[in-house]
């Protein structure tokens, strides 16, 4: 098996595992960054390589944990209010049962953080008042 094929297989398995781990409905109605994706999406795979490993370690990840949803399956009932698009990936920031905003596609690491920072800035302050630091 070629190295490229092994890499694609590992990426697909990692993506599938990530969706399995992150697809359960959240008990709290706190902010979440919902990633609508599908297997075989090259931009989804790029996001998984460039952002996903560090996202939980960032202030943005703490404020709005990432939750992956496969667009080929049913939408969880707690996200029925979110309009699902055919384009993948689509990142939808939700909070308290409402959509705050979305990022269509994956524009690359530098642009992603800037766009996400704008969306996070639209959230109500946390109980502690702490907000993620802006990235430059």
CB 82 within 8 A of CB 92: yes
**Residue 46 CB neighbour total at 10 angstroms:** 16
Give the count of domains, the chain: 1
Half-sphere exposure (Cβ direction) of 81: Cα atoms closer than 13 Å:
11
Q: Among candidates 84, 81, 80, which has minimal Cα distance to 72?
A: 84
41-80 pLDDT per residue, tens: 999 999 999 999 999 999 999 999 999 999 999 999 999 9
- Phi and psi (nearest 5°) for 79? -115, 20
Confidence class of residue 30 from pLDDT cuts 50, 70 and 90? Answer: confident
126 located within any domain: no
Q: Which residue blocks in 2-100 are alpha helix, DSSP H?
A: 3-22, 42-50, 59-63
26 located within any domain: yes
| Domain carrying residue 95 | 3-120
136 located within any domain: no
Q: What is the CATH number of the domain that holds 101?
A: 3.40.30.10
């Amino acid at each position: 098996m070629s190295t490229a094929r092994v890499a694609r297989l590992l990426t697909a398995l990692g993506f599938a595992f990530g969706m399995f781990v992150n697809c359960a409905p959240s008990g709290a109605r706190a902010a979440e960054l919902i990633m609508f994706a599908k297997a075989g999406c090259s931009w989804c795979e790029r996001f998984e390589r460039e952002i996903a490993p560090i996202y939980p370690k960032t202030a943005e990840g703490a404020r709005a944990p990432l939750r992956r949803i496969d667009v080929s399956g049913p939408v969880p009932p707690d996200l029925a209010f979110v309009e699902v698009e055919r384009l993948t990936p689509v990142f939808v920031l939700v909070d308290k049962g409402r959509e705050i905003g979305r990022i269509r596609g994956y524009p690359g690491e530098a642009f992603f953080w800037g766009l996400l920072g704008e969306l996070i800035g639209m959230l109500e302050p946390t109980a502690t008042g702490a907000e993620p630091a802006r990235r430059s």
